[in-house]
Amino acid sequence: MNPLARELNETLSGSVMHELLSPYGRRFYFPKGIITQAAEAKEHAHRFDATVGLAVKNREPLHLQEIASHFSGLSAGELFSYAPTPGDPKLRNRWGDEMLRKNPSLKGRTTSLPLVVPGLTAGISILSDLFFDVGDELIVPDMFWGNYRLIFEGRKQAALKRFPFFYGDGFNLNGMEQALRESAATGRTSENNPKAALVLNFPNNPTGYSPTEQEAAEICRRLVALAEEGVRLLVICDDAYFGLFYEENTYTQSLFAELANAHPNLLVVKVDGATKEDFVWGFRLGFVTFGCGGASAAQYQAMEKKLGGAVRAAVSNSSRPAQSLLLKALETPGYEQEKQAAFELLRERYRAVRRILEERTLPEGIRALPFNSGYFMAFELDGGGAENLRRKLLHERGIGTISIEDRYLRVAFSGVDLEHIEELYSEIVAAMEELA
């Protein structure tokens, strides 16, 4: 094992963070090679910097004006230079400040500094490397983002263990707890302590459901209770659609805020980003933040170095222009007002869908699943046939939707302008009736 990895492991020794690491995670470290030496040179090489493989002219990155001309308000360095592997320090700090502002329950709690990754998918994928090995289990609700299969089952050969997302019209608290207990009964850390891992995605893709305030409190209470019983817990908060909450009783913070320092046996990781929060889907810009009860600043830094090393090994670093543009936006007056206007636009579409479904009677055996947030809602077809419905909508009516396991039809109302929402759902219901 590399001495740098051994040093990080010694710093983490005795913590749940160390216990939960996969063999890959224990091997990883941030090298003191080109990246570290280049960072030192940037600070101290006041004459010439001959470290990084980057061409310069007049001390600025050499660039093509045909590309630069399409940008305004950014310097050549903000556009064309390499970003540090962990991300632009100013952006990391600003995102941390924004995370605290959006999640007031984080006040007084300690976490790592958000580390930049090239999109939430990359963030979750790198976490799978750090914490999962062949045969490990990940607890997921049965309504989950399909890419988890590729990430955890395909890449890591881990097993997704599912529980029913809904119990009645709410989140299935008992199902979640039971699945975690069953997984902990068979799973073990390298120290032979029981372990379990859970991923929660709110607002949920594909259902568009987020827990109520009462459900969120109960989710956290049950997770902490398991930790108190000695279970080593990894909880990944996939907050891709964070902030898009449309109902008053919906919990509007990340569960990360309540779990960050909840117990020494509970490691919670927040994966979020600008993709949906700031409406920049093509930027591929995400953040990963760790929270753990009793963790020291040195231990958080050790986890950041392991994560940074994994980023370095996979993609080197994230997009410099995307980071520069997001930082500029966060510092621009009027940014929040414009973002609020975009939120209101999506909430109006949500309300229109809600009104239409309240006014219409669906064919027998079909129901709209509970939804209160995000981009989506979904229909459940008791007898199956979601794929036939999808194909009928697509080929006979020119309407695109997503079928899931032939039992659910996901509709992204986010992708349809308000004036067309009524027409969209009229066509969907008519196609359902034709197939009934």
* Dist. CA 92–CA 274, nearest whole Å: 12
For residue 37, tell me if it sits in a domain. Answer: no
Report the CATH number that the domain containing residue 115 is assigned in CATH.
3.40.640.10
Tokens read off for 141:
């609700």
How is residue 250 annotated by DSSP?
B
Helix (H, G, I), strand (E, B) or coil at 393: helix
Condensed to tens digits (0 to 9), the pLDDT of residues 208-240 reads 999 999 999 999 999 999 999 999 999 999 999
In a domain, 243, yes or no: yes
DSSP state of 369: P
CA distance 167 to 173: 8
Beta strand extents in 183-284 (DSSP E only):
195-201, 232-238, 266-273
**pLDDT tens profile 77-133:** 999 999 999 999 999 999 999 999 999 999 999 999 999 999 999 999 999 999 999
pLDDT of residue 50: 75
Amino acid at 5: A
**Structure tokens that stand for 333 in this block:** 């007056």
How many domains are contained in the chain?
2
Q: Could you say which of 307, 330, 353 is where a domain stops?
A: 330
Split the chain (436 residues) into runs of 10 and give each run's mean pLDDT. 95 97 96 72 70 82 90 90 94 97 96 97 97 97 96 97 96 98 95 96 97 98 98 98 96 97 98 94 96 97 97 93 95 93 97 96 96 97 96 97 97 97 97 93
pTM of the shown model? 0.95
Closest to 240 measured CA to CA, from 392, 405, 374, 48: 374
Within 13 A of 26's CA, how many CA atoms are on the CB side? 16
- Asked whether residue 279 falls in the same domain as residue 359, the answer is no
The residue among 289, 315, 330 that closes a domain is 330
Q: How far apart are CA 350 and CA 260, in angstroms?
A: 31
Give the closest residue to 12 by CA, choosing from 4, 223, 229. 4
Q: Between β-strands 56-57 and 60-61, what pairing exists: parallel, antiparallel or unpaired?
A: antiparallel
Q: Are residues 352 and 318 in the same domain?
A: no
Which DSSP symbol is given to 169? T
Let me know if residue 73 belongs to a domain.
no
Which residues are CB-contacts of 141 (< 8 A; sequence separation ≥ 6)? 162, 163, 164, 165, 172, 175, 176, 200, 204
160 and 300 in a single domain? The answer is: yes
Q: Which residues pair with 367 in a beta bridge?
A: 380
What are 25's two structure tokens?
A: 């995670």
Tokens at 283, concatenated: 């930027």
Is 325 in the same domain as 353? Answer: no
In whole angstroms, give the CA distance from residue 241 to residue 202: 7
Cis, bond preceding 114 (omega within 30 deg of 0): no
Query: In percent, how much of the chain has pLDDT > 90?
Result: 89
- Out of 309, 330, 351, pick the residue that ends a domain: 330
- State the residue range of the domain holding 408: 335-435
Residues 285 and 120: beta-carbon distance below 8 Å: no
The closest of 255, 298, 328, 275 to 91, measured between CA atoms, is: 328
**What pLDDT is attached to residue 51?**
72
Strands 408-412 and 402-404: antiparallel
Helix (H, G, I), strand (E, B) or coil at 227: helix
Asked if residue 401 is part of any domain, the answer here is yes
Do residues 342 and 221 share a domain?
no
For residue 269, list its beta bridge partners: 236, 290
Walk across the sheet containing 266-273 and list its strands. 115-117, 286-292, 266-273, 232-238, 195-201, 137-141, 159-163
Predicted local distance difference test score (pLDDT) of residue 45? 63
- In angstroms, the CA 334 to CA 138 distance is 41
Are residue 241 and residue 299 in the same domain, yes or no?
yes
What local confidence, expressed as pLDDT, does residue 41 receive? 63
